[in-house]
């Protein structure tokens, strides 16, 4: 398909953000956006896999596209369709696969066509719930929206070239151009350097929320951007004028009416006799796709049950805080918290009761007296607390003792009474060579010693900061 060549040639960073968010949300090491292209499948965005393409006969995604619905393979070794596949028997040793087809319209009048899939891959078998399936399909819909927008941009570019050759049919061409602008939420602009004035198409006026009219001064056009975003746009415009290099930037826009929008500004130099005399470009309203990406990122960084930080957020946060603490010579502590007897509550009272306990733990870990510490659920009944307040770090044993008292929850049922407690292992940043792995290892070692001593207790790693 001709449009695939353009799609493969232009990599969209937004797709990379989606596969990163998908990998984090599902805690899956590999996530891919694939496109079927003749005798192979190409990966236009990928996470956790080095290959850029595979032969079509080895493709799992072509099966998902052919059946036109979600394909889930919990264990490839048990599925005769895939057990002998080289991608299963060799690297990357696929054991689990889940893929949702991606369907787009190659042209505005074309039917929906399956071109590839958004898929998750693991080298270990795993279960995949109906809720997981719904979330994966949502990711695929997000990919479809982004790919469709990109294809529409291609169509607009083709229409622009066509318009230049249709001067004899100007009225009809303008009508088609306006339709393309409405379809893609795009408008065209031109900056004349000699006069400092900007000409907008009707589509740009719509995005700005102002009536269609003549040109205006660049200063007036920039007034619709928040101060920091205006500065970024001014810098990008100046660089394009000075170097002749294209500009491509996303910014917040405050239209004349209605809520704030997110826009993408693309531009390139216009030359006359080899000299830069202006800039021409496109403005696109990307508010919805930007909101979708932010929402997916938020979901990846937030634990669904407790609404505290997820493992993904914990890893990025503690890495940043360790680096900052070493540079500023600040103190930093980590607590690993395991719940005791939690499985009994789940097995006896049900998962709803178990979730109530998890939320109660999260509430304690977000107590005001912990002064901004980051609480995270690492998975199951495992939690972590990153402590940055120097007073709390200095009183680490006292803080741990207080938490062991607050993290005790009694539950009663016909099968008996249960008390869920917490066992805590603590470690502290010891020097400039420490890493997240060092903190985790020492906290885990302290947690093991505390469990050996008695459940519902704590232990502080003996290696202390100088």
* 396 vs 7, higher pLDDT: 396
| pLDDT tens per residue across span 420-453 | 999 999 999 987 778 899 999 999 999 999 999 9
Three-class SS string for 103-134? EECCCCCCCCEEEEEEEEEECCCCCCCHHHHH
| pLDDT tens per residue across span 254-270 | 999 889 999 999 889 98
* CB-based burial, 283-316: b 16+ in 10 Å, e otherwise: bbbbbebbebbeebbebbbbbeebebbbbbbbbe
The whole-number average pLDDT for the span 344-350 is 83
Domain spans of the chain?
A: 2-143, 186-285, 302-460
The whole-number average pLDDT for the span 89-106 is 92
**Range with the lowest mean pLDDT among 208-217, 226-235, 396-405?**
208-217
**Range with the lowest mean pLDDT among 72-76, 109-113, 135-139, 154-158?**
154-158
* Cα angle: 91, vertex 97, 98; to 5 degrees: 150
The per-residue pLDDT for 225 is 95
The per-residue pLDDT for 460 is 95
| pLDDT tens per residue across span 268-289 | 998 888 899 999 888 888 888 8
Fold identical between 2-143 and 186-285? Answer: yes
The whole-number average pLDDT for the span 65-76 is 95
* CB-based burial, 203-222: b 16+ in 10 Å, e otherwise: bbebbbeeeeeebeebeebe
CATH topology of domain 2-143: Beta-Lactamase (3.30.450)
The whole-number average pLDDT for the span 301-321 is 92
Distances (CA, A) of 57 to 85, 173, 325: 9, 44, 51
Q: Is the pLDDT of residue 294 over 80?
A: no
| Phi, psi (degrees; rounded to nearest 5) at 254 | -105, 95
* 164 vs 341, higher pLDDT: 341
Q: For residue 463, name the pLDDT band (cuts at 50, 70, 90).
A: low
| pTM (2 d.p.) | 0.53
Q: What counts of helices (H) and strands (E) characterise the chain?
A: 16, 18
The whole-number average pLDDT for the span 21-33 is 91
Q: Identify the CATH homologous superfamily for domain 302-460.
A: Reverse transcriptase/Diguanylate cyclase domain (3.30.70.270)
The CA-to-CA distance between both ends of the chain, in Å, stands at 65
CA 151/CA 157 separation, integer angstroms: 10
CA 338/CA 348 separation, integer angstroms: 19
CA 464/CA 466 separation, integer angstroms: 6
Q: For residue 76, name the pLDDT band (cuts at 50, 70, 90).
A: very high
Q: For residue 100, name the pLDDT band (cuts at 50, 70, 90).
A: very high
Mean pLDDT over each residue of the chain, to the nearest integer: 86
Q: Is the pLDDT of residue 250 over 50?
A: yes
186-285 — its CATH code? 3.30.450.20
Q: Which stretch of DSSP H or E encloses residue 251?
A: strand 247-253
The per-residue pLDDT for 465 is 42
């Amino acid at each position: 398909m001709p449009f695939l060549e353009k799609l493969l040639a232009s990599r969209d960073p937004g797709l990379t953000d989606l596969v990163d968010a998908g990998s984090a949300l599902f805690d899956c090491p590999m996530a891919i956006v694939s496109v079927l292209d003749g005798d192979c499948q190409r990966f236009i965005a990928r996470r956790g896999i080095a290959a850029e393409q595979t032969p079509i006969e080895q493709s799992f995604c072509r099966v998902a596209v052919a059946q036109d619905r979600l394909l889930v393979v919990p264990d490839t070794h048990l599925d005769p369709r895939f057990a002998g596949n080289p991608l299963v028997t060799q690297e990357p040793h696929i054991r689990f696969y889940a893929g949702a087809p991606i369907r787009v319209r190659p042209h505005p009048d074309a039917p929906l066509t399956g071109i590839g899939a958004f898929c998750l891959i693991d080298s270990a078998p795993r279960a995949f719930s109906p809720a997981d399936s719904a979330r994966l399909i949502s990711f695929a819909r997000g990919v479809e929206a982004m790919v469709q927008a990109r294809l529409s941009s291609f169509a607009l570019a083709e229409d622009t070239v066509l318009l230049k050759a249709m001067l004899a049919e100007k009225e009809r061409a303008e009508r088609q151009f306006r339709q393309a602008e409405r379809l893609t939420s795009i408008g065209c602009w031109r900056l004349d350097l000699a006069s400092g004035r900007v000409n907008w198409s009707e589509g740009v006026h719509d995005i700005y929320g102002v009536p269609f009219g003549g040109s205006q001064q660049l200063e007036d056009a920039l007034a619709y951007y928040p101060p920091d975003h205006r500065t970024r746009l001014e810098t990008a415009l100046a660089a394009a004028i000075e170097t002749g290099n294209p500009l491509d930037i996303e910014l917040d826009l405050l239209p004349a009416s209605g809520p704030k929008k997110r826009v993408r500004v693309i531009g390139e130099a216009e030359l006359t006799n080899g000299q830069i005399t202006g800039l021409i470009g496109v403005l696109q309203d990307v508010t919805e796709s930007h909101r979708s990406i932010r929402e997916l990122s938020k979901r990846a960084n937030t634990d669904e049950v407790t609404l505290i930080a997820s493992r993904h957020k914990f890893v990025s946060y503690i890495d940043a805080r360790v680096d900052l603490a070493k540079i500023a010579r600040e103190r930093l502590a980590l607590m690993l918290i395991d719940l005791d007897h939690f499985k009994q509550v789940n097995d006896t009272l049900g998962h709803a009761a178990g979730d109530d306990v998890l939320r109660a733990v999260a509430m304690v870990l977000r107590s005001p007296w912990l002064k901004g510490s980051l609480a995270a659920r690492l998975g199951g009944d495992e939690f972590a607390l990153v402590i940055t307040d120097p007073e709390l770090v200095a009183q680490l044993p006292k803080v741990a003792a207080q938490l062991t008292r607050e993290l005790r929850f009694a539950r009663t049922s016909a099968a008996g009474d249960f008390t869920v407690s917490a066992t805590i292992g603590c470690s502290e940043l010891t020097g400039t060579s420490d890493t997240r792995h060092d903190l985790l290892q020492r906290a885990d070692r302290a947690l093991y010693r505390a469990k050996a001593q008695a459940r519902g207790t704590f232990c502080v790693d003996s290696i202390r900061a100088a």
